């Protein structure tokens, strides 16, 4: 395990201990809310009986949803604490989940040509080389399978609501691929009153070119993109608030792709 993996593992252990938002298992899902969570636009087609990998997606959230929709679900995550949440939801819903502890940059423990859907929630920016992850996914997804990923909007990284200057939100740093970015967790990530000793987020910028070229060079065909997934921008909120900031500077991107290496 290199220093990047060690840092990420320690951070997610601390986040889990602080009951951070992304570590809370979803224990109140039904089929409708499960579908809303992982496929509200219904881009995956029929999920029942599909083989699904939640890549760097521990925490008992998306895996629980896919299992309730009838999928054969595997969870691969660096954090043993996050995988414990998946074991918790498996027991709660009486479904079967397979879990593997490991680094998204090395999926050699998984069989090739196995998964109909690879679903990667926000995690790609925790490693510096996106293309290496895409190549790993290309090996284990079936031809014609779907790879979904959520990642940081590279144009708005290093910005947040505190960059409001009275007129707008100001870009201050050069647009450099691979840049190491340290920031502070938003107040909604966990209860800051706990004064928990949680390492700050350390992320890496993947430029839009890095993302698109990395995907296509690994055999993926992009069929949908969103810059409004999983947040609620509101230009009527107070300037300098999270809702107002995200209406000016979308923080995240989502890509839906199919694996077609002969395209």
Walk along the chain (263 residues) and give the pLDDT tens digit of each residue: 899 999 999 999 999 988 888 899 999 999 999 999 999 999 999 999 999 999 999 999 999 999 999 999 999 999 999 999 999 999 999 999 999 999 999 999 999 999 999 999 999 999 999 999 999 999 999 999 999 999 999 999 989 888 999 999 999 889 999 999 998 877 767 776 665 678 889 999 999 999 999 999 999 999 999 998 878 888 999 999 989 999 999 999 999 999 999 87
Question: Helix 130-140 vs helix 208-217: angle between axes, to the nearest 10 degrees?
Answer: 30
Instruction: Return the pLDDT at 232.
Output: 82
Instruction: Mention every residue, 6+ apart, whose C-beta is less than 8 A from residue 207.
Output: 154, 175, 177
pTM beyond 0.85 = yes
Q: Which domains does the chain have, with CATH numbers?
A: 3-153+207-235+253-259 (3.40.50.150)
Pairing of strands 141-152, 252-259: antiparallel
For residue 33, the tally of other CB atoms under 10 A from its CB is 12
Give the C-alpha separation, 194 to 180, whole Å.
28
Give the C-alpha separation, 242 to 94, whole Å.
38
The SS3 call for residue 65 is helix
Give the C-alpha separation, 156 to 24, whole Å.
27
For residue 13, the tally of other CB atoms under 10 A from its CB is 17
Instruction: Mention every residue, 6+ apart, whose C-beta is less than 8 A from residue 14.
Output: 196, 197, 198, 199
- For residue 119 the two structure tokens come to 């679903």
Q: Which residues pair with 51 in a beta bridge?
A: 72
Residues in the chain: 263
Instruction: Return the pLDDT at 194.
Output: 64
Give the C-alpha separation, 240 to 237, whole Å.
9
């Amino acid at each position: 395990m290199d220093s990047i993996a060690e840092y990420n593992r320690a951070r997610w252990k601390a986040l889990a201990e602080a009951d951070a938002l992304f570590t809370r298992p979803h224990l109140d899902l039904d089929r409708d809310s499960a579908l809303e969570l992982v496929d509200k636009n219904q881009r995956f087609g029929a999920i029942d009986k599909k083989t699904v990998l939640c890549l760097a997606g521990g925490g008992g959230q998306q895996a629980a949803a896919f299992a309730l929709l009838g999928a054969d679900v595997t969870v691969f995550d660096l954090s043993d604490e996050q995988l414990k949440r998946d074991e918790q939801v498996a027991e709660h819903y009486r479904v079967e989940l397979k879990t593997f502890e490991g680094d998204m940059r090395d999926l050699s423990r998984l069989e090739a040509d196995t998964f109909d859907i690879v679903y990667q929630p926000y995690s790609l920016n925790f490693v510096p080389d996106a293309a290496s992850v895409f190549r790993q996914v290309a090996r284990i997804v079936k031809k014609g399978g779907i790879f979904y990923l959520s990642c940081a909007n590279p144009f708005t990284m290093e910005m947040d609501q505190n960059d409001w200057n009275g007129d707008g939100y100001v870009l201050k740093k050069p647009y450099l691929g691979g840049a190491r970015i340290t920031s502070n967790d938003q107040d909604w990530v966990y209860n800051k009153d706990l004064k928990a000793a949680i390492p700050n987020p350390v992320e890496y910028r993947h430029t839009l070119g890095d993302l698109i070229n990395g995907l296509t060079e690994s055999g993926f065909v992009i069929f949908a993109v969103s810059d409004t997934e999983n947040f609620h921008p509101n230009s009527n909120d107070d300037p300098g608030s999270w809702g107002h900031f995200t209406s000016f500077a979308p923080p995240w991107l989502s890509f839906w792709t199919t694996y077609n290496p002969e395209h």
